[in-house]
Amino acid sequence: MAEAAFRCGYPTMVPYTPSSGAVTAGDMILLGNSAGVSLGVAHSDIANSTLGEISVGGGCYDCQVASNYAAWTKVYKPSANAILTTTSTNNAQFGFTVEAAAAANATVLVLHHPLI
């Protein structure tokens, strides 16, 4: 499964050129974590050093979460993997769970709202 599989919504797309390797559709892309938008999501494959587009919010995605979170829990992407967690320290904000997760490592619908 992709790190983030698009399901619905109206994502805001911005130009993006990867500089450290190709990007695969569904990849979560760290854009910074201290101010502004922190995390983008690729909707299509983008070759290294080639202009493409990524979402910087607005869509809902199927994502894996680390524990049994309630709906509307704020979640973050750790640098080590793409399993979303509630730990904010040194992690990039992804958004909010739209539905509850019944167990650890469950896949749930998450609203992409990475604005800090």
Block means of pLDDT (10 residues each) for the chain, 116 residues, are 93 95 95 70 97 97 97 92 91 94 96 88
Residue 46 is predicted with a pLDDT of 98
Which helix H or strand E contains 53, and what residues bound it? strand 52-55
Residue 80 is predicted with a pLDDT of 83
Residue 37 is predicted with a pLDDT of 64
Residue 67 is predicted with a pLDDT of 96
Residue 12 is predicted with a pLDDT of 96
Torsion of CA 6, 11, 13, 16, to 10 degrees: -40
**Is the Cα torsion angle 65, 25, 5, 59 positive or negative in sign?**
positive
Say if residues 89 and 35 touch (Cβ distance below 8 Å): no
